[in-house]
């Protein structure tokens, strides 16, 4: 606000003490904005890379998805494959003829495990959401434009840009619910609270 505008604005305030309060508030406003921005940057720095990789900007978890290269399902599938190394050969050598079908079953299971162990998606922030089934999602770009890591940290949340033109109702619901929680408890606690929840659990309801 320019000085003349400040003076004429203050002229409308009768009480001197109140005038001074208004003057002080007007003068610190730009600094408050800078400090708010810096706080945002500081908060962004405090978030570990592991969390940024695990939680997409929309609040959904990449790290629990079957499509994620570095996700838990891939990690455990790799570990299971390692522990089962040699088991096929063991069955081949030792199964009696009438139990050979167990070998076929194991081969099917092992091939499935190999698929779970080697998914292709590099995560929402990394791979342009190439594994996410929501085509046309703009949230990853939008959070960058707003200098935040999650919608829950954005001053416009919940914005009307996230609507049915791109997203299904259930995704909008999860976006709203997840980011409201991030806003309430912060991303670190949100991550701890949800990191072990199975990605697809809601489909059992
Ligand atoms: S592409 Fe969009 S909906 Fe999919 S994980 Fe990323 S931000 Fe979320
Ligand atoms: S404008 Fe909407 S979509 Fe973009 S970062 Fe903010 S809350 Fe998320």
Each residue of 34-58: pLDDT tens digit? 444 444 444 544 789 999 999 999 9
59 within 8 A of 98, measured Cβ to Cβ = no
Rounded alpha-carbon distances, angstroms, from residue 89 to 112, 116, 117:
18, 22, 20
Chain segment 101-156, per-residue pLDDT in tens:
999 999 999 999 999 999 989 999 986 555 577 888 999 999 999 999 999 999 99
pLDDT-based confidence at residue 94 (cuts at 50, 70, 90): very high
| Ligand 1 midpoint to CA 135 (Å) | 9
Q: Which two tokens stand for residue 118?
A: 């080697």
CA-CA distance, 190 to 68, in Å (whole number)?
20
- How far apart, in whole angstroms, are the C-alpha atoms of residue 36 and residue 153? 12
The residue ranking higher by pLDDT, 21 or 160, is: 160
Query: Ligand 2 pocket test: which of 141, 158, 159, 167 has the largest number of ligand atoms within 8 Å of its C-beta?
Result: 159
pTM: 0.76
* Of 61, 63, 62, 59, residue with least CA distance to 177: 59
Report the alpha-carbon distance of residue 88 to residue 110 in Å, rounded. 9
Distance CA 95, CA 102 (A): 8
Which atom of ligand 2 is nearest the CA belonging to 151? 8
* pLDDT at position 46: 72
Q: How far is the CA of 107 from the centre of ligand 1 (A)?
A: 34
What is the residue-averaged pLDDT of the chain?
84
Give CA–CA dist 84/94, Å, rounded. 16
Q: Judge whether 58 and 73 are in contact, CB under 8 Å.
A: no
Three-state DSSP class for residue 61: strand
Residues 6+ apart with CB under 8 A from 125: 52, 53, 56, 57, 140
Q: Is the pLDDT of residue 179 over 60?
A: yes
């Amino acid at each position: 606000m320019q000085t003349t505008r400040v003076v004429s604005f203050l002229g409308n305030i009768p009480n001197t003490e109140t005038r001074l309060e208004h003057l002080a508030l007007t003068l610190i406003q730009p600094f408050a904005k800078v400090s708010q921005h810096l706080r945002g940057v500081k908060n962004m720095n405090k978030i570990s890379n592991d969390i940024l990789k695990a939680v997409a900007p929309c609040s959904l978890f990449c790290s629990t998805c079957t499509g994620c290269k570095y996700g838990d399902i891939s990690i455990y599938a790799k570990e299971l494959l390692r522990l089962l190394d040699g088991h096929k050969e063991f069955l081949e050598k030792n199964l009696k003829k009438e139990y050979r079908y167990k070998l076929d079953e194991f081969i099917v299971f092992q091939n499935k495990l190999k698929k779970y162990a080697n998914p292709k998606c590099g995560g929402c922030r990394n791979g342009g959401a190439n594994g996410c089934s929501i085509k046309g999602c703009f949230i990853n770009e939008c959070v960058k434009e707003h200098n935040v890591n999650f919608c829950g940290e954005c001053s416009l949340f919940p914005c009307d840009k996230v609507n049915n033109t791109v997203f299904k109702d259930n995704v909008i619901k999860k976006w709203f619910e997840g980011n409201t929680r991030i806003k309430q408890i912060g991303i670190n606690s949100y991550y701890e609270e949800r990191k072990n929840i199975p990605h697809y659990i809601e489909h059992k309801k």
